[in-house]
Structure 1
Amino acid sequence: MSWLKSAIRRYPIVAITVVVGVAGLGLALTGNVLIAQWVISGFALIVAAMQAWSMMRRLLRGQFGLDVLAVIAIVSTVVVGEFWASIIIVLMISGGEALEDYAAGRAERDLRSLLDRVPLQAHRYTASGGIEDVPVDLVAVGDRLLLRPSEIVPVDAVLESPETSLDESTLTGESLPVDKVRGDQLWSGAINGPGAVDIRATAVASASQYQLIVKLVAEASASRAPMVRLADRYSIPFTVIALVIGGIAWAISGDPVRFAEVLVVATPCPLLLAAPISFMAGMSRSSKTGVVVKGAWALEQLAVARTVAFDKTGTLTKGVPEVVALHPEPGFGPDFGRDELLGIVASAEQYSSHVLAAALRQAAADRGIPLREASRAGEVATHGVEATIDGREVIVGKPGFVADRATGVQRRSLASGEAAVYVAVDGRFAGTVVLRDELREEAPETLERLRRSGIRRFVLLTGDVEQTARPIAEQLGIDDVHAECLPQDKVDLVRSATPRPVIMVGDGVNDAPVLAVAGVGIALGARGSTAASESADVVILVDDVSRVADAVEIGRRTVHIALQSIWLGIAISVGLMLAAAFGWLPAVIGAALQEVVDLITILNALRALLPGSTPGPRKTTVRRPASDALV
């Protein structure tokens, strides 16, 4: 019976209403109907006074709500002697909070289930080879850990054992186990398979994937949607309609009871419940697909967005470019060959955080070319790197950046999807390194789904040069391309973009400012930067850009269901009001029917938990230009 005690403490008005109702029924059955009427009427008027006080406080803040109908309904039923109807209205209003709590709890269950699985301990190897259990917050980068069967990966790590299998459903929404081999990345929050394995930490707990998800979920569950009080938009016309119907019924019939009967079925609980329940359900649904929506208001923006701007590298492309050609400048020197070119470029790119820098360093490592230390190095954001290596001044980056600092720079003709890094040494052009970053396989289908969802304009914003960005855009049918953008350029372009609202999708550190200013910022957080994830309104937890379309579809479905539930409540209430106006609905029955309307509204709002009925995306074939071949 502990649940009953807890419910009584949490909802005392509901409990008192039930007690008063039972006591009144007992009095009536023993012949004390007048005493029962006074007890129930007095209690109902007290509740009406409390509602009126709450209503006045809202009015002083400039907010007109539907509370006025509840107050009028209670008072009118008491005045005309329909005291049984008044106690049912009080139960309906006070029980509305409990119903909302239950429904919101049902919708939020999946969203908050992450919080119950936060790793607390890790099994760390000691210097002597033993194992000690330590709080997960004490695990440092580089620590070697033991992961036992069916345990949760405590921090982001790499696998050191030959192989294992992981359940990543909490992170990605995919139910099938994922096989991992030595050297593969393991995300915190995944569940180990049947065998014990060794792992090595690559991030501290606070910066690990699962803990970041928990933080996002906490922000999401604490948010309030602009549409939580969406019904207030309809409060004035709905109140006027109810009063007009009630007044006409009273005037024609000459019976004030008819007015009370109309107002009884005009109580606003269905309208007040619809939006918050729908939004919590939509947020829960999105979390199941690997998409964390930080605020319910973001779902509303996703539903009405008409423009989507994309970053290119790592968002529409795979973000893992490979070196496909090395072109040392013929006249630079007889000893300056391909390996020397790649070695000096990779050495300079040690001091860059750009995705191309990682590809260049990897290419050098694959060829066994050692990297050299620089006596001086500095990165010019989105342009390139300046470094002094072995006493030589090395400039690596975009053609314009290198041309401003060196002579003889020749732009190279590139095939579709290729990018070139230009190199100068001691003020002379030294050659180019050509890389290719392939289009994501799911990108064309994603844009097609977004078009079907109502997106009218697509924009590509990238720091890459035009000749690299344009072929990618053409393959996706994007006409609006802005190349060689600095972070501030992206911010300005998104701020001025129309039609609005504007969704911005990105994954890098340089995308953080534009994600923050967009109508909805969506970060691909699976391997993107923490800065981008923190600036965004929506974070995609898997390396799959198609989840952008999922987020938009869920937003549209959620808002549709919220509005549908509100209009359903209005339609049923108006129908009941008309029935009451003709005298077909006694006050007591009308009050009871309102509980049924509450239930219908809640069940309809909870449909946002379920997958949408949107038709599946059509298959889109990507036709690559004939020149798109490996060099």
Structure 2
Amino acid sequence: MGGPRAMMRPSALLISTGLVTVSTLLLVLWGQGDAARVVATVFVLAVAVLEASRMVRRLMQGAVGVDVLAVTAIVATVLVGEIAASMIIVLMLTGGEALEQFARARAQRELTSLSERAPRFAHRLSPSSSGAGSDVVVGEVSPGDLLLVRPAEIVPVDAVLAPGSDATSFDESPITGESLPRRIGPGEPVLSGTINGPSAVRIIATRDAAHSQYQGIVRLVEAAASHPAPVVRLADRFALPFTVLALLIGTAAWLLSGDPVRFAEVLVLATPCPLILAAPIAFLAGMSRSARNGAVVKGGAALERLSRVQTVAFDKTGTLTEGRVSIAEVRVQPGFEEPLVLRLAASAEQYSSHVLATAVIDLARARHLDLADSDVADEDAASGVRARVLGFDVLVGSLAFVSARASDVLATPLRPGELAIYVGLDGRFAGAIVARDRLRVTAAPTVTALRRLGARRIVMLTGDAPSTAAAIAEEVGIDDVRAECLPADKVTAVHGMEDRPVLMVGDGVNDAPVLAAADVGIALGARGATVASEAADVVILVDDLHKVVDVVRIGQDSVRIALQSIWIGVGLSLILMVVAAFGHIPAVLGAGIQELVDLVCIFNALRALRDPAGHRGDRL
């Protein structure tokens, strides 16, 4: 049964029911039928009181549920002397609670397994020794620490494989869902939560535990578990009419037959376990399936909205594109030297969270330019960064950002797929850094698949120039493009969209406001965009845009299976109630049949755990 927890744990109540059932049977066998009837009557009325207290609490919360049917069925069977039927109903209800616990535990297995296996300790080595070290609590690890990971151990923090190490394999399936180990060479990143191969390796921590990938996933899982599914809303759509209809059928059977037993026989078949159990189990199963496929859904409400998505909005850089920008050219204005412009721009970009900043910094380091620290730095998210570097006032960012603060800024010509990072020095336009961000190979198939799943509108919201945005949109198949958007502009655009619910997909810090504003926000969190992940309803843990399609499909499957399970239970119960109204199903037999109906609904709801054969292991 749903609703608040009873005063006794379901397992204890089930054990009590079993003990009372055995005791009454023994009393009957010993010829103590009256004593058996008294014991059973007292017990079932006590259970009825517990169920009634749940019903009252729900009514005080303003929710009209189907608890009244359970109480009425127990009381009615007692009043007409069908004590055996009363015991079967109580056994069914307590068994249903225990089965609900089992089903919830089964559905939450993937959600909780990450938390349970989180590493607690790390083997920290001394850089000056060949192997000496000590075990420390994971929280004490700092970036730059040299760590030892033994065979088959879990990597405790985000790190890189230490220089001089041999290439080795890591099992990334707990994080990415990929079944095949990934070969990693010296200097390449190793995600926390992955499992080391057969050889001990040395890694250098790049983040502390609090900011590593695995601990971030654990926090997301805990947040997902703390958000209850919209069970009450979904079940209560059916609860009131089902309760009224059951009472009407039972009353009509009583009045037409003149036999109050008919009323009890009808209500025995109207116990509401299918309504109460099917929806939460289906939603928990959907969340579990999503986690198994590399995405954490923060609650059943997000799954329900995903199932009805009408508009999908995408950020461009790092979402539709790979976010691994390569610099094509540095164009400087007369009177400025390219090495100086690049060095100052890269120094300022150290204080930016935008994905383009990394490309500028990498190019400067590749050209062996020393980056300088800034005395003052201030970032305008999605627009640019201002910094005081080596005595220069440096501006790096979009055309609008730099032109508002520097004179004589000119738009640099761009080819399709290119974008420009503009640079200003001491209030003058110094030049532009031309970059190109490759389109994800999964971008166009993702857009096509979302249209097939029912999305009416696909929109691009980006801060880039119109020409760059249009070129990418044409390749992907998006015809509604909103370019040169600040974070506030994206929020305004989402609020103004008519076809709802609106799903927003983004990856960066600048996407956090619009992810929170959308009906459903999905963050591509594989690269550690913490703020975006916290603002989103769904976090994709792998760098795979096509997972958006998987999550939408899982939402649709979960809601469909939940509703299907409810309709199966309601339909079978109504048919059986009508048959019982004509006196063809005794109360004891009806109680047993209803238990079978409950089992059918519950196991059907658990189907939401399964990946359909056509989509299992879907990879492009």
- For normalisation by structure 2, the TM-score amounts to 0.93
Determine the structure 1 residue equivalent to 2:258. Answer: 254
Q: Quickly say closer, same or farther: Cα 1:193–1:241, change in 2 above 3 A.
A: same
Determine the structure 1 residue equivalent to 2:30. Answer: 30
Q: Structure 2 residue aligned with 1:286, among 284, 290, 295?
A: 290
Q: Structure 2 residue aligned with 1:311, among 288, 309, 315?
A: 315
Deviations 1:602-623 (A, max 9, x none): 1101001100366799999xxx
Q: CA deviation at 1:493?
A: 1.7
Q: Quickly say closer, same or farther: Cα 1:16–1:377, change in 2 above 3 A.
A: closer
Q: Quickly say closer, same or farther: Cα 1:592–1:446, change in 2 above 3 A.
A: same
Q: Quickly say closer, same or farther: Cα 1:521–1:271, change in 2 above 3 A.
A: same
Mapped partners of 1:14, 1:196: distance in 2: 49
Q: Quickly say closer, same or farther: Cα 1:10–1:575, change in 2 above 3 A.
A: closer
Q: Structure 1 residue aligned with 2:167, among 149, 163, 187?
A: 163
Q: Does residue 106 in structure 1 map to residue 79 in structure 2?
A: no
| Matched-pair contact (CA < 8 Å) for 1:557–1:612 | no
Mapped partners of 1:560, 1:571: distance in 2: 16
| Matched-pair contact (CA < 8 Å) for 2:254–2:260 | yes
Determine the structure 1 residue equivalent to 2:5. Answer: none
Determine the structure 1 residue equivalent to 2:578. Answer: 578
Determine the structure 2 residue equivalent to 1:493. Answer: 493
Mapped partners of 1:201, 1:378: distance in 2: 28
Determine the structure 2 residue equivalent to 1:150. Answer: 152
What does 1:334-483 align with in structure 2 at a 5 Å threshold?
336=336, 338-372=338-372, 377-389=377-389, 391-483=391-483
Q: CA deviation at 1:363?
A: 1.2
Deviations 1:329-382 (A, max 9, x none): 3xx13xx45444433432343343322221111112222333355565543433
Q: Quickly say closer, same or farther: Cα 1:582–1:325, change in 2 above 3 A.
A: same
Q: Quickly say closer, same or farther: Cα 1:403–1:569, change in 2 above 3 A.
A: same
Q: Quickly say closer, same or farther: Cα 1:555–1:277, change in 2 above 3 A.
A: same
Mapped partners of 1:443, 1:172: distance in 2: 19
Deviates more, 1:157-166 or 1:488-497: 488-497
Determine the structure 2 residue equivalent to 1:272. Answer: 276
Determine the structure 1 residue equivalent to 2:55. Answer: 55
Aligned to 1:81, what secondary structure does the other structure show?
A: coil
| Matched-pair contact (CA < 8 Å) for 2:10–2:94 | no
Deviates more, 1:490-499 or 1:8-17: 8-17
Q: CA deviation at 1:268?
A: 0.6
Q: CA deviation at 1:83?
A: 1.1
Q: CA deviation at 1:128?
A: 4.5
Q: Structure 2 residue aligned with 1:135, among 131, 134, 137?
A: 137
Aligned to 1:11, what secondary structure does the other structure show?
A: helix
Determine the structure 1 residue equivalent to 2:545. Answer: 545
Give the partner amino acid of 1:385.
V
Determine the structure 2 residue equivalent to 1:624. Answer: none
Determine the structure 2 residue equivalent to 1:242. Answer: 246
What does 1:179-218 align with in structure 2 at a 5 Å threshold?
179-218=183-222
Q: Quickly say closer, same or farther: Cα 1:374–1:254, change in 2 above 3 A.
A: closer
Aligned residues: 609
Determine the structure 1 residue equivalent to 2:3. Answer: none
Deviations 1:210-256 (A, max 9, x none): 11111111121222111255222211111121122222222332222
Give the partner amino acid of 2:354.
H
Determine the structure 1 residue equivalent to 2:524. Answer: 524
Q: Quickly say closer, same or farther: Cα 1:217–1:378, change in 2 above 3 A.
A: closer
Deviates more, 1:606-615 or 1:145-154: 606-615
Deviations 1:456-484 (A, max 9, x none): 11221112121211111122222222222
Mapped partners of 1:538, 1:350: distance in 2: 29
Mapped partners of 1:254, 1:322: distance in 2: 85
Percent identity between matched residues is 56
Deviations 1:23-80 (A, max 9, x none): 2222323333333223322322222222223212322222111111111111111111
Q: CA deviation at 1:277?
A: 0.7
| Matched-pair contact (CA < 8 Å) for 2:461–2:485 | yes
Gaps of 5+ in 1: 1-7, 621-631
Deviations 1:518-538 (A, max 9, x none): 211111111042111111111
Mapped partners of 2:425, 2:62: distance in 1: 68
Q: CA deviation at 1:594?
A: 1.3
Mapped partners of 1:147, 1:408: distance in 2: 56
Give the partner amino acid of 2:583.
G
Mapped partners of 1:615, 1:119: distance in 2: 32
Deviates more, 1:32-41 or 1:202-211: 32-41
Determine the structure 1 residue equivalent to 2:324. Answer: 320
Deviates more, 1:336-345 or 1:136-145: 336-345
| Matched-pair contact (CA < 8 Å) for 2:504–2:521 | yes
Aligned to 1:402, what secondary structure does the other structure show?
A: helix
Q: Quickly say closer, same or farther: Cα 1:103–1:376, change in 2 above 3 A.
A: closer
Q: Quickly say closer, same or farther: Cα 1:567–1:174, change in 2 above 3 A.
A: same
| Matched-pair contact (CA < 8 Å) for 1:554–1:612 | no
Q: CA deviation at 1:387?
A: 4.2
Q: Does residue 295 in structure 1 map to residue 289 in structure 2?
A: no
Aligned to 2:319, what secondary structure does the other structure show?
A: coil
Give the partner amino acid of 1:139.
V
Mapped partners of 1:286, 1:497: distance in 2: 27
Mapped partners of 1:391, 1:133: distance in 2: 46
Deviates more, 1:468-477 or 1:432-441: 468-477
| Matched-pair contact (CA < 8 Å) for 1:229–1:272 | no
Q: Quickly say closer, same or farther: Cα 1:66–1:379, change in 2 above 3 A.
A: closer
Determine the structure 2 residue equivalent to 1:90. Answer: 90
Q: CA deviation at 1:547?
A: 0.8
Determine the structure 2 residue equivalent to 1:4. Answer: none
| Matched-pair contact (CA < 8 Å) for 1:448–1:617 | no
Q: Does residue 600 in structure 1 map to residue 600 in structure 2?
A: yes
Deviates more, 1:494-503 or 1:376-385: 376-385
| Matched-pair contact (CA < 8 Å) for 1:261–1:590 | yes
| Matched-pair contact (CA < 8 Å) for 2:52–2:71 | yes
| Matched-pair contact (CA < 8 Å) for 1:445–1:619 | no
Determine the structure 2 residue equivalent to 1:627. Answer: none
Q: CA deviation at 1:196?
A: 1.2
Deviations 1:157-195 (A, max 9, x none): 011123110001000111100000011111111000111
Deviations 1:292-314 (A, max 9, x none): 11212111111112111111111
Mapped partners of 2:84, 2:233: distance in 1: 30
Deviates more, 1:339-348 or 1:23-32: 339-348
Q: Quickly say closer, same or farther: Cα 1:316–1:528, change in 2 above 3 A.
A: farther
Mapped partners of 1:424, 1:221: distance in 2: 48
Q: Quickly say closer, same or farther: Cα 1:516–1:209, change in 2 above 3 A.
A: same
| Matched-pair contact (CA < 8 Å) for 2:381–2:509 | no
Mapped partners of 1:217, 1:408: distance in 2: 51
Deviates more, 1:439-448 or 1:336-345: 336-345
Q: Quickly say closer, same or farther: Cα 1:326–1:37, change in 2 above 3 A.
A: same
